[in-house]
């Protein structure tokens, strides 16, 4: 009940502030919020919301896995892109029937993301580089490498854009939504079972609740860090593979970065306190805000950037009510 209150208060405060901003522009807040809801969940918008929710929910889960133990992975973009480019390489250059290539591409994305995230864990365990720094800084080489590959050796010769050729290996779609949505839901379900029913999940939560107590209890933090970062990166790599195996079935430089799947996913994980089901619901909420923002702009002439303001205000209120900054200060 306490967690529900901690979430409800920031959401309500953000909506009230949003209503004040709308009134200041001469717009009816009820009409604007109604346009967001109808645009996100109406018959013309539900497909776009689900399509956007797939990568957001996937990245939210990827970042929630270490966050459950109080570890922040800021390298989701690099792991996402590296998983996508690895899946692309398999899809383009590995021979075999389509279904086999799809499976191999997904596995390649998982392996690439997991290995790259594990490198950040090694940097912390062996070199003393904090995860916040190592995960964030490792993103840039991964994104630069992917950009180089689609501009030169893997570039579509018939296009002037920095993109790869289309792949024959493809995930099928249902009404414009990739079937990768089932893979993302399966990962979330697996995360929920491990979190609630296994010793590994208990160790993770104890480390997040009380790191010193976890150390006294004999929990090996370096090994836990390596496992959680590998799982986090593998999930991010899977999301990248799903993205590149879906429409337009190619890798376009910047296409996975511009929509800010990683950062919106991090907001969702923070809002839900990294709980599996809460992370999924928060991801759908943020995806609906983003998708419904376009409908609000069309209906009320209010810029859709207001939804980004609502997201930022929501996180500020969440941090204030949960005391996250105070806890961080005490730990420091």
Domains and CATH numbers, the chain: 2-331 (1.10.3470)
Instruction: State CA 265 to chain mean position distance.
Output: 4
Structure-token pair, residue 255: 């296409």
What are the tens digits of pLDDT across the range 202-254? 999 999 999 999 989 899 999 999 999 999 999 999 999 999 999 999 999 99
CB atoms within 10 A of CB 67: 23
Q: What gap in Å lies between CA 289 and CA 293, rounded to an integer?
A: 6
Whether 261 contacts 55, CB under 8 Å: yes
Answer for the pair 277, 284: CB distance below 8 angstroms, yes or no.
Answer: no
Give me the chain's average pLDDT, please: 90
The residue among 258, 250, 239 whose CA lies nearest residue 88 is: 250
> pLDDT confidence of 325, banded at 50, 70, 90?
very low
The winner for highest mean pLDDT among 10-19, 257-266, 287-296, 307-316 is 257-266
Residue 305 pLDDT greater than 50, yes or no: yes
Peptide bond into 248 cis (omega under 30): yes
Sorted by sequence, the CB contacts under 8 Å of residue 280 that are 6+ apart come out as 57, 60, 61, 185, 188
272: confidence class by pLDDT, cuts 50, 70, 90:
confident
> How far is the C-alpha of 65 from the C-alpha of 230, rounded, in Å?
10
Task: Report residue 93's pLDDT band, with 50, 70 and 90 as the boundaries.
Answer: very high
Q: How many CB atoms sit inside 10 A of residue 118's CB?
A: 20
Three-state DSSP class for 251?
coil
- For Cα atoms 281, 142, 266, give the angle at the middle one, nearest 5 degrees: 20
Taken in order 44, 47, 53, 55, the sign of the CA dihedral is: negative
Specify the range with the lowest mean pLDDT, choosing from 58-72, 170-184, 299-313: 299-313
At residue 4, the pLDDT reads 67
């Amino acid at each position: 009940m306490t967690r529900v209150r901690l979430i409800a208060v920031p959401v309500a405060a953000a909506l009230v502030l949003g209503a004040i901003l709308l009134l200041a522009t001469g717009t009816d807040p009820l009409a604007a919020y109604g346009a967001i809801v109808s645009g996100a969940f109406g018959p013309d918008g539900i497909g776009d919301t689900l399509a956007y929710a797939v990568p957001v929910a996937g990245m939210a889960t990827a970042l929630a896995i270490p966050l459950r133990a109080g570890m922040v992975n800021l390298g989701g973009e690099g792991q996402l892109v590296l998983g996508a480019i690895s899946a692309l390489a398999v899809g383009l250059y590995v021979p075999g029937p389509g279904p086999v290539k799809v499976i191999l591409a997904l596995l390649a994305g998982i392996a690439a993301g997991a290995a790259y995230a594990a490198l950040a864990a090694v940097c912390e365990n062996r070199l003393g580089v904090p995860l916040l720094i190592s995960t964030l800084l490792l993103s840039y080489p991964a994104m630069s490498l992917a950009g180089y590959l689609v501009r030169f050796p893997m570039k579509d010769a018939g296009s002037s854009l920095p993109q790869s050729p289309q792949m024959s290996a493809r995930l099928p779609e249902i009404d414009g939504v990739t079937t990768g949505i089932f893979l993302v839901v399966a990962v979330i379900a697996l995360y929920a079972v491990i979190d609630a029913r296994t010793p590994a999940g208990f160790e993770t939560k104890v480390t997040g609740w009380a790191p010193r107590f976890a150390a006294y209890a004999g929990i090996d933090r370096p090994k836990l860090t390596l496992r959680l970062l590998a799982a986090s990166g593998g999930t991010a790599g899977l999301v990248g593979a799903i993205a590149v195996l879906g429409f337009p079935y190619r890798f376009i430089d910047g296409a996975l970065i511009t929509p800010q799947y990683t950062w919106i996913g991090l907001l969702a994980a923070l809002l839900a306190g990294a709980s599996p089901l809460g992370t999924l619901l928060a991801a759908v909420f943020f995806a609906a805000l983003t998708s419904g923002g376009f409908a609000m702009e069309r209906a009320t002439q209010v810029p859709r950037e207001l939804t980004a303001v609502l997201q930022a205000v929501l996180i500020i209120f969440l941090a204030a009510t949960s005391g996250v900054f105070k806890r961080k200060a005490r730990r420091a």
